[in-house]
Chains A and B, each alone.
Chain A
């Protein structure tokens, strides 16, 4: 076993274990903190795959957002410091079933890849700049990812506008509230 493989095993194990902690820890803020460990471990996996750009984006986008997640946790739950209610509700079996089906589907998809059992993936021959350039181009290429990319943008925009509409006070409040 090479050092890189050892590192991969350790990180993958950390990612899975902390992911389990995310769903089992009784305190919501602790769950958010375990989520950081999971996401950081995935970032390390990206670095092991020579995708430093993705690793950094992973940290910016996901770990950077954990602070906001904690704010929402605190604001949306009652007595967050001490709240330890039951962790399961009646539908736990349905969630477990869906999780298993998704896992099976992913494994089935992966098994179709030709190099599934061969240990060496095709080495990245291009330089870092070319790979990132290719990533950027593929997001505006009609044949590749432009449609998912734009759909995701519209979805995010809708979420933004929706939250503004929800947070905005009613119209009559606005008029009387702001005149100082």
Chain B
């Protein structure tokens, strides 16, 4: 019981349900429903804490105190905010498409909560171990994009529609490098199931075997979550608030919750796919340690997410798209191909897998540095050539 509390509790619950007169199959089915409900509730309750953490850390980065009035350290601030939101009137803009208008917020939350179904939290503790989990992740993300489009369209507001257009353009673009980077752990583990991917990292975490893929995945999922510097879907200074401008009360609250939870979820996904998930010392003897390892690693990655958000300014839409299509997508394509070839070569020729992969990634990294330098040089030349003739020649002469 001490070593594996999750299996023990599951067996206990099943015995109890069978004792009530259910068949084993019915008990298993009921437990799946209960498990799904418990997981979704736990994740949503966790969001209360996450919003507080994000506000507090951001405040410290900006040399402020952050929430500090309600409860110890301002911990209950989020609950007070939620209660206030609940007491507000739900306003339906005139000309809005009512059904679609109220369909969008739950879809946005569902698309984030749904991702947790395949994230292994500890050994023997996973929502469901489906063998197409990688594709499941992508398809659930696609539904989130859809929710934002629906919200923007149904609000009957130009700002909302513009925000939704931007968002969809960005989300669809960043899905490409994300999916390509997702292929790398799938290839290294030889399976699309998240449990198998975590198990395959026992020898070596994938972040060591494929650091570039991990970076590409992290950056593009930051964009998928709409975190700064990719938060132009709700650029307050340009389009007021973007797709959720017309929403009030808990309808807005749902978008808010979904967005904050998405930041933590992307950290959890990065940990699962590249940082070994629940793996750590003594995890086989005491499985509950896996929970601590998993959430510890996730907290560290989540801190990096907030850190980046607090540090970098917002990008323009053309910069965001150019960065994706001219840099991330080609890089992801190269990473996938090189990883496939290097892994196969290492397996066939009996080379050390870790060393081979690190070498391959070092070569690719050198290639990136050289090509970015060449691009920057060409871009400087182009700008200098475009400057009015006299100033341009003067600068060129002094440069040569």
Return the chain B residue nearest A73 by Cβ: B153
Return the chain B residue nearest A53 by Cβ: B132
Q: What residues of chain A lie closer than 8 Å to B57, measured between beta carbons?
A: none
Which residues of B are interface residues toward A (Cβ below 8 A)?
95, 97, 100, 130-132, 135-136, 138-139, 142-143, 145-146, 148-150, 153, 156, 161, 165, 168, 172, 175, 382-383, 386
B146→A63 contact, CB < 8 A: yes
When A29-B100, A56-B136 are in contact, do A64 and B142 touch as well, CB less than 8 Å? Answer: yes
B95→A81 contact, CB < 8 A: yes
When A29-B97, A33-B100, A74-B153 are in contact, do A64 and B139 touch as well, CB less than 8 Å? Answer: yes
Please give me the 5 A-B residue pairs with the lowest Cβ-Cβ distance, nearest first.
A64-B142, A179-B386, A59-B139, A56-B135, A67-B149
A70→B153 contact, CB < 8 A: yes
B135→A57 contact, CB < 8 A: yes
Whether A149 sits at the interface, judged by CB under 8 Å, is no
Q: What's the nearest-Cβ distance from chain B to residue A66, in Å?
A: 6
Return the chain A residue nearest B136 by Cβ: A56
Q: What's the nearest-Cβ distance from chain B to residue A68, in Å?
A: 6
Q: What residues of chain A lie closer than 8 Å to B382, measured between beta carbons?
A: 179
Which residues of A are interface residues toward B (Cβ below 8 A)?
27, 29-30, 33, 36, 52-53, 56-57, 59-60, 63-64, 66-68, 70-71, 74, 81, 128-129, 179-180
Q: Whole-angstrom distance between the alpha carbons of A87 and B223 in the complex? A: 40
B145→A64 contact, CB < 8 A: yes
Q: What residues of chain B lie closer than 8 Å to A179, measured between beta carbons?
A: 382, 386
Return the chain A residue nearest B171 by Cβ: A67
**CB-contact partner of A60 in B97, B139, B156, B165, under 8 A:** B139
Q: Whole-angstrom distance between the alpha carbons of A71 and B383 in the complex? A: 35
Listed by A's residue number, 13 A-B pairs whose Cβ atoms lie within 8 Å are A33-B150, A52-B130, A53-B132, A56-B139, A59-B143, A60-B139, A63-B142, A64-B142, A67-B142, A67-B168, A74-B161, A81-B97, A179-B386
Q: What residues of chain B lie closer than 8 Å to A30, measured between beta carbons?
A: 97, 100
Q: What residues of chain A lie closer than 8 Å to B136, measured between beta carbons?
A: 56
Q: Whole-angstrom distance between the alpha carbons of A52 and B150 in the complex? A: 27
Return the chain A residue nearest B141 by Cβ: A64
Return the chain A residue nearest B140 by Cβ: A59
Q: What residues of chain A lie closer than 8 Å to B100, measured between beta carbons?
A: 29-30, 33
Q: Whole-angstrom distance between the alpha carbons of A129 and B191 in the complex? A: 9
B131→A52 contact, CB < 8 A: yes
Q: What's the nearest-Cβ distance from chain A to residue B326, in Å?
A: 14
Q: Tell which of B131, B139, B143 has the most Cβ of chain A within 10 Å.
A: B139
Return the chain B residue nearest A58 by Cβ: B139
When A29-B97, A59-B142, A60-B135 are in contact, do A81 and B149 touch as well, CB less than 8 Å? Answer: no
When A71-B165, A81-B95 are in contact, do A129 and B131 touch as well, CB less than 8 Å? Answer: yes
Q: A52-B130, A70-B150 are in contact. List 19 more A-B contacts (CB 8 A).
A: A29-B97, A29-B100, A33-B100, A52-B131, A52-B132, A53-B132, A53-B135, A56-B139, A57-B135, A60-B142, A64-B142, A64-B175, A67-B146, A67-B149, A68-B172, A74-B161, A81-B97, A129-B131, A180-B386
Q: Tell which of A57, A71, A128, A179 has the most Cβ of chain B within 10 Å.
A: A71
Return the chain A residue nearest B96 by Cβ: A81
Q: What residues of chain A lie closer than 8 Å to B132, measured between beta carbons?
A: 52-53, 56
Q: What's the nearest-Cβ distance from chain A to residue B233, in Å?
A: 13
A71→B149 contact, CB < 8 A: yes
A128→B143 contact, CB < 8 A: no
B139→A29 contact, CB < 8 A: no
Return the chain B residue nearest A67 by Cβ: B149
Q: What's the nearest-Cβ distance from chain A to residue B220, in Å?
A: 15
Q: What's the nearest-Cβ distance from chain A to residue B299, in Å?
A: 30
B135→A66 contact, CB < 8 A: no
B131→A66 contact, CB < 8 A: no
Q: What's the nearest-Cβ distance from chain A to residue B127, in Å?
A: 15
Return the chain A residue nearest B382 by Cβ: A179
Q: Whole-angstrom distance between the alpha carbons of A151 and B7 in the complex? A: 51
Q: What's the nearest-Cβ distance from chain B to residue A92, in Å?
A: 27
Q: Whole-angstrom distance between the alpha carbons of A165 and B17 in the complex? A: 64
Q: Whole-angstrom distance between the alpha carbons of A53 and B193 in the complex? A: 12
Q: Tell which of A59, A67, A74, A129 has the most Cβ of chain B within 10 Å.
A: A67
Q: What's the nearest-Cβ distance from chain A to residue B23, in Å?
A: 14
A63→B139 contact, CB < 8 A: yes
A81→B156 contact, CB < 8 A: yes
